[in-house]
């Protein structure tokens, strides 16, 4: 097994970049093959979820006095749903990426990291498409007079937020891909856990600020400051909270490094277990 160093890992990925691109394109084609809406599903999923939550929290149940959101709820929800769908669909692809490619895993050497990386990359394409609708929503509410749009300099910080989320997603994705290969229960547990995680990640409802134990536990979720950072940069026109974003960044870097090391060290066992 080759020495586990950053230059080695990086050179491996550079050397097999064409394979990574091919797998990414394959994932995109398979996802929308024989689909009437095709790539439009990248927009339909977060948009439909936004409509459902908007109806629930503004029509079926009047929660305006509880949520205390200083913007149209639909805009608040969609701004959280776009990064959340990217996160959840990426991990859903990662968790089964090794098992689904068993024929390739058992072949000659190439970095197995390309499988979870291709899942994240293909979901990132959907993320970019869904972000276009967010821009359209911002202009719509601005024209409707329900919210004032302004292009703030904080938008320049947005790539840093995206980069931290990608690092977090790739790191967790490698843990999940490896875990599901060794224990197939991981996929089932993940499908349940990811649904619950959305409601404690400030995606559609704000995090409680009452200082309770529950609020403190929720604040440990790195997605909370990350999704808040998206809203700060795009909607509020301010930089993210320094402490919260630093925590999310540290967590993401630790997940990426830890996931990559564990994944690479266990990769020689993949062919045996698949």
Summarised one tens digit per residue, pLDDT across range 108-120 is 677 889 999 999 9
Count other C-beta atoms under 10 Å from residue 268's C-beta: 11
At residue 215, what are phi and psi to the nearest 5 degrees?
-65, -40
Q: What is the Cα–Cα distance from 223 to 104, expressed in whole angstroms?
A: 33
Residue 200 CA to residue 206 CA, distance in Å, equals 9
Q: In this structure, are residues 265 and 257 in contact, taking their beta carbons and an 8 Å threshold?
A: no
Q: Give the pLDDT of residue 61.
A: 63
Q: Is 4 exposed, middle or buried, given 0-12, 13-18 or 19+ CB atoms closer than 10 A? A: exposed
Nearest CA to 151 among 54, 271, 237, 239? 237
CA 46 to chain centre: 13
Residue 84 has a pLDDT of: 96
Identify the pLDDT of residue 1: 46
Residues of the chain with pLDDT under 50: 1
What pLDDT does 62 receive? 57
């Amino acid at each position: 097994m080759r020495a586990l160093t950053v230059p080695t890992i990086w050179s491996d990925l550079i050397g097999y970049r064409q394979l990574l691109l091919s797998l990414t394109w394959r994932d995109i084609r398979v996802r929308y093959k024989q689909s009437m809406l095709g790539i439009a599903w990248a927009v339909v999923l977060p948009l439909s979820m936004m409509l459902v939550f908007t109806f629930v929290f503004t029509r079926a149940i009047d929660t305006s006095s509880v949520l205390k959101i200083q913007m149209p709820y639909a805009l608040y929800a969609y701004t959280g749903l776009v990064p959340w769908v990217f996160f959840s669909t990426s991990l859903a692809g990662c968790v089964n990426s090794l098992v689904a490619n068993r024929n390739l895993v058992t072949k000659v050497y190439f970095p197995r990291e390309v499988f979870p990386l291709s899942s994240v990359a293909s979901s990132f394409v959907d993320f970019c498409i869904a972000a276009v609708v967010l821009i359209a929503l911002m202009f719509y509410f601005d024209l409707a007079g329900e919210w004032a749009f302004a292009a703030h300099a904080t938008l320049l910080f947005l790539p840093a937020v995206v980069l931290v989320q990608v690092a977090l997603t790739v790191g967790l994705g490698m843990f999940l891909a490896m875990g599901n290969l060794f224990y197939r229960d991981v996929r089932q547990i993940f499908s349940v856990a990811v649904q619950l995680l959305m409601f404690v990640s400030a995606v559609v409802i704000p995090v409680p600020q009452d200082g309770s134990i529950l609020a403190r536990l929720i604040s440990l979720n790195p997605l909370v400051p990350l999704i808040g950072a998206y809203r700060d940069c795009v909607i509020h026109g301010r930089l993210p909270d320094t402490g919260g974003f630093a925590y999310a960044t540290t967590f993401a870097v630790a997940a990426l490094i830890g996931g990559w090391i564990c994944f690479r060290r266990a990769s020689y066992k993949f062919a045996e277990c698949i």
